[in-house]
A and B are shown apart, each in its own frame.
Chain A
Amino acid sequence: MKLLRVKPGHGEVVLAEGDVAVPEQYSELLAVFSRELDAGLWAAVPTSTRTGRREAELVRSFEDVPADAERVIFFPRAAGGS
């Protein structure tokens, strides 16, 4: 699983990468996930419907991330614009 973050001037940045089945890597992924959420970012997992249509799912805790998810994308929280 890869934890990615989109950033101004960067595009995507890989924050952490690891296998959730490996305890040490799971801890690192969990720590990075919590840090980004605490920083106020939103986390999303790209998914596909049964018909093959691609969608995304917002996740609010690491437990919500599907076990087979390949990527979690962090992006800044939405705010009303002008």
Chain B
Amino acid sequence: MALALGTAALMLMSSLLVLALPYLRRSIELTRLGLSERADHKRFALVEEYDPGRELRAEQRARALLRSCVNEEDWSMYSELGFLRVWGTLEAQPYGYLIYPHKPILAYVPFTNHMLGEYCVEFPDRTRPFGSTRLPDSDDVLAKWIALTADERALIEQANMHLAGRQIRIAKARRDLLCLACWERERGESRGRAPRRAGSVPAL
């Protein structure tokens, strides 16, 4: 008797499942559609909030602020090479950092150009004006420069350290260091010469 009842219950359940399957499928589809519409709406909203002109103006202001804070040589380095070098002060051995906008700070040893590691650090603005936490490029560089020159140890402790080559390719970093050496040599040579009056283009 019990076996018969159990079998009947199983049959009933499987029949109900077969009957309910199309409805279940439909409700899953509807849920998926709703989620994707919501994501699309969010994506469109972000695209609408992005204004390239506004970002460009913000970057120009950020460059002017950076220029007013760092040394003339550092500004030339950044405007011509796209990164800034800051010397480390925590160790007796000489070492330096390369600061790139919105990329990790790269520690290296001069002369050998040995890469020590990447320090990943961000300065997210939680107020999210215009929906983004991301500072203009030059403001990001300025924030890193301020933090490194003011309190190197605190910044390094705050950052997540990774092996060199994780985000900035070692070949690129070596090329940048080579460019930096050439750039410094040229500046050293040009200091000895009379200033050029024609053909020179002032940095932004």
**Contact size class for A?**
20 to 34
Cross-chain contact A11 with B71 (CB below 8 angstroms): no
Task: Tell me if A77 is interfacial: C-beta within 8 Å of chain B.
Answer: yes
Q: Which of B60, B134, B135 contacts A75 (CB 8 A)?
A: B135
* Interface of B (DSSP majority class): helix
Bound form: Cα–Cα A6–B63 in Å? 11
Bound form: Cα–Cα A6–B101 in Å? 15
Please name all residues of chain B whose beta carbon is closer than 8 Å to the beta carbon of A81 when the two chains form the complex.
Answer: 104, 120-122, 159-160
Cross-chain contact B129 with A8 (CB below 8 angstroms): yes
Cross-chain contact B146 with A79 (CB below 8 angstroms): no
Cross-chain contact A8 with B147 (CB below 8 angstroms): no
Please name all residues of chain A whose beta carbon is closer than 8 Å to the beta carbon of B145 when the two chains form the complex.
Answer: 56
* Cβ of A48 to closest chain B Cβ, rounded Å: 9
> Which 3 pairs across A and B sit closest by C-beta, in order of nearness?
A11-B61, A81-B120, A81-B122
Chain B residues with a Cβ under 8 A of chain A: 51, 54-55, 57-62, 64-65, 68-71, 74, 104, 120-130, 132-136, 139, 142-143, 145-147, 149-151, 155, 158-160
12 extra interchain contacts, Cβ-Cβ under 8 A, other than A4-B65, A8-B135, A78-B159?
Answer: A6-B135, A8-B58, A11-B59, A39-B127, A44-B146, A56-B146, A56-B149, A73-B69, A76-B133, A76-B143, A79-B123, A80-B160
A-B contact pairs, 21 of them (CB 8 A): A6-B62, A6-B65, A6-B139, A7-B58, A8-B133, A9-B55, A9-B129, A11-B58, A46-B69, A56-B69, A58-B147, A58-B151, A73-B69, A75-B139, A76-B133, A78-B122, A78-B123, A78-B143, A79-B122, A81-B160, A82-B120
